[in-house]
A = this chain, B = another copy of it.
């Protein structure tokens, strides 16, 4: 008699194949689940392996469009960067993958979920927090431990999506990215005239162009949620282009003080996503606030991509005309230069008194 049903996040690799075999041996029915979020993988071969190892059912789910639209786009809006450098690629993928796994578990009446993420890594936390958040009664049945040693320079072949910038083309690509409500709605290659406009096509195309030019590689030390430092080597070609373009159009169209508050919310969002709290009341709240801030983030950014770098060349926006109005206002004399002096002198009141006070105390001593 079966001990129950486990939905296992299965990659076709050694680790999760071992887990599958072990779970069968222990008397569980195992449903394998493999999410396609755009990785380079032989899905059919994984299906066969799972069937051979005795999986009751095999789910292979194409989550690519959903991943881009519901997970990556909010991160673009947030300018999400963890500890000033990491663009959160896998951290964003995890809740997307786990939420579908939980849906399958509910639909198949499975009480257990399992995965191959390692115990001290963040991915275990991200995976399990999502499962508990969306399916509070679920039980997580197994983890596997594996460690990647730190200390040596990363070999080049760790990178799958990006070329080495030294080997990348000697001619730049010129892109124009159009945004509406803070997300890209169209990308045009100005060299070739080609353009794409669905979320998945946009993201795939930016990954392709960014990858070709070696954009978005980093080799960092990061602080894991549980406090340990670990080395991370990442490549985020499309994400890096989008971050630069979004930063630009956002600053161009968003009020200065709104931007400052939103920047703080973006830092919070990044930390929550890194730590696995995508599905939490606070992340939900922050996402809604950030979305609210993006209503007027709209326009086009021109940029070039070359040898690992993204260069912003210019921007335009239907929401930006007030800048020109302001300039013409200067010319017309509506702005009194004496106002600037008053502004500065009032800002200086506090500073002057501080200085006088210090002088006074120094004299007394």
Contacts and interface: CB of A to CB of B under 8 A. Distances in A.
Given A136-B355, A313-B219, A353-B325, A344 B125 contact: yes
Give the secondary structure class of A's interface: helix
A306 interface: yes
Interface in A122-154: 124-125, 128-129, 132-134, 136, 140, 143, 145, 147, 149-153
Contacts of A309: 165, 307-309
Max chain B Cβ within 10 angstroms of own Cβ: one of A85, A228, A344: A344
Contact of A308 (B307, B315, B342): B307
A51 interface: no
Contacts of A302: 153
Interface string A336-361: 11111111111111111111110011
Contact of A351 (B124, B279, B319, B342): B279
Number of copies: 4
Contacts of A84: 79, 247, 263
Contacts of A56: none
Contact of A221 (B149, B248, B325): B248
Interface in A179-213: none
Contact of A149 (B128, B133, B293, B327): B327
Contact of A133 (B124, B339, B352): B352
Nearest to A214: B309
A258 B286 CA distance: 8
A340 to B, nearest CB: 5
Given A257-B281, A338-B338, 15 more contacts: A83-B263, A120-B337, A129-B347, A133-B351, A136-B352, A136-B356, A150-B323, A153-B313, A221-B248, A226-B340, A229-B251, A288-B292, A307-B307, A308-B308, A325-B356
20 contacts: A120-B330, A120-B337, A147-B327, A151-B324, A219-B314, A221-B315, A223-B251, A226-B343, A255-B280, A255-B281, A260-B271, A261-B286, A289-B292, A307-B309, A319-B357, A338-B338, A339-B341, A343-B343, A343-B345, A343-B347
